[in-house]
Structure 1
């Protein structure tokens, strides 16, 4: 059995159980030597995830990604390899960024920033987050964290998940069309699957009231970009993820009316990194002790 571990941070090497062979690779440059003896691979977080290296690890037992989504890994994961995701690690960071996007859009903060640079004092009344009806589409751990932060703002939160859970007040996705006409804000935080691709498209956008806001912190393909552009500002959007991504410099989404874009940074704030390092430390201890790993998705 291959017993070498490849981790992204030195802390994980320093905190590893005694006797564990650990190499550090953060995704930059060349990996550390021959990878054929790697049994546990923690995929680096960020732009250089290097999932391609999995093909160089014939004895791989476990792949640990640090994101909730794992679509980049599915195509290269060998049969029989355990896959664990980063469920829970991004909850706080993503939730606070989501609320920040809502506040920026509702209170027109980008407009005030432009006015400040122009030395222009031009007050007017804006929309509010308070008393807004917010649909959270994808009521997992991140969706719950978003709800926890929204309720003190005196919003009405409507929970939507793949399947209805009446005992928890959760609507099924099959009821989405009936919920959209009454929504002020729709938050997309579902994973990208064949079933969720284009979840909000031309038909769904048409059901939203004028001035409604779509916030996407899930995956870009959940929202049909062409359909959003065709709305010409009638429906607004605050997007941390886009389709395509990265967004090309000449893409019309940059200048679309009522659209705010951040470059897929919701989950990677300061709070994420110490939590992720502690999580990897704990996973390595479990692996060394042959204890059940957390967040197994396959």
Structure 2
């Protein structure tokens, strides 16, 4: 992809200031808008070629897209772009934020896994009641963990649980060999599920994955198995999961839900053996420096006329 000829007005629309990025390529200028406050004025948008959409993008940010006639690259600050894909204008290249969120999301997945297994919420409630509650609790050691969705985040989860002396099963769309062992194809999932003490979901939301973890999938899990979801809520059939949780057969630790945000009064809030966090896996202190590094690199590539990294949708040209 070659960059367009210089034109009047800012060619970049960024949620970070040029100073935060360590400067811009020579001859380039940027309008700065982080998704809050007043958006850039219409005439200033005509020359924008490269838009880094704010991380917590709003309806206003989406409405801005058709008003960027020169847009060529849309850079997301999320790995998952299912919410953004329907709004990408024709001919625009969409890039995601691979490399920004894997560490934080994997940390959170392991946190949920350990907290749910060790029943930390019960201990918190006991502390609040000033009760000294003892007894044996499950450990991660000697357990089998199935990683469903073995991309960058799934691999990062495995790297963090490897020292816990557990067995890992890896499942992705296609069969392959990873540095840590074989990755099984999705078609073998029914045979692998009964072996799992915990399933960690890191799947993106696509037509193929929506509702993938349904009643039939959950039924193949052994009694007492734990479902951890740090991918997308709609990958799991909420009603089917609720039925298993209410029966006491399964447990869940969810960073994402369907619906989301989870409204007050929703039965998931009070389901037994359920730990919920508010889609908080990626929003950590690691986000900003890694996002800045990604944007800096992507802008440099574009200004040099090189193709950007992390392309999800390729624009024309």
Q: Same fold (TM over 0.5)?
A: yes
Counterpart pick for 1:86 among 89, 92, 97: 97
**Does the CA contact (< 8 Å) of 1:88 and 1:142 recur in 2?**
no
Task: Report matched runs for 1:262-273 at 5 Å.
Answer: 262-273=277-288
Tell me the equivalent position of 1:249. 264
* CA drift at 1:13: 5.7
RMSD across aligned positions (CA): 1.5
Asked whether 1:114 is paired with 2:122, we answer: no
2:64 is the alignment partner of 1:46: no
SS at match of 1:100: helix
Residue 37 of structure 1 corresponds to 47
| Separation in 2, partners of 1:91, 1:24 | 26
Residue 182 (str. 1) matches residue 192 (str. 2): no
The CA distance in 2 between the partners of 1:148 and 1:13, in whole Å, is: 30
Structure 1 unaligned blocks of 5 or more: none
1:37: Cα distance to partner? Answer: 2.3
| The 10-residue stretch of structure 1 (192-201 or 28-37) with the greater mean CA deviation from structure 2 | 28-37
May I ask how many residue pairs the two structures share in their alignment?
A: 298
Aligned to 2:250: 235
Structure 2 counterpart of 1:191: 204
Give the alignment partner of residue 218 of structure 2, picking from 205, 210, 233: 205
CA deviation digits over 1:137-166, x for unaligned, max 9?
111111100000011011111110001115
Quick one: structure 1 residues 17 and 246, their matched pair in 2 at CA, closer, same or farther if it must change by over 3 Å?
A: same
Mapped partners of 2:58, 2:135: distance in 1: 44
| 1:195 match: secondary structure | coil
Aligned partners of 2:154, 2:99: CA distance in 1, in Å?
Answer: 11
Q: Is the 8 A contact 1:164 1:172 kept in 2?
A: yes
Match for residue 230 of structure 2 among 203, 213, 217: 217
**Cα deviations across residues 27-64 of structure 1 (Å, max 9, x unaligned)?**
11221212232111101112647233212112110000
Matched, 1:55 2:66: yes
Contact 2:49 2:70 in 1 (8 A): yes
Q: Deviations over 1:200-242 (max 9, x none)?
A: 1111111111110010000001111100111113111100000
Q: Which has the larger displacement, 234-243 or 48-57? A: 48-57
How far apart in 1 are the matches of 2:100 and 2:275?
25
* TM-score for both structures, normalised by structure 2: 0.91
- The unaligned stretches of length 5 or more in structure 2 are none
1:73 Cα deviation from its structure 2 partner: 1.8
Return closer, same or farther for 1:84/1:12 CA change in 2, 3 Å cut-off.
farther
Matched, 1:129 2:140: yes
Taking structure 1 as the reference length, what is the TM-score of the superposition?
Answer: 0.96
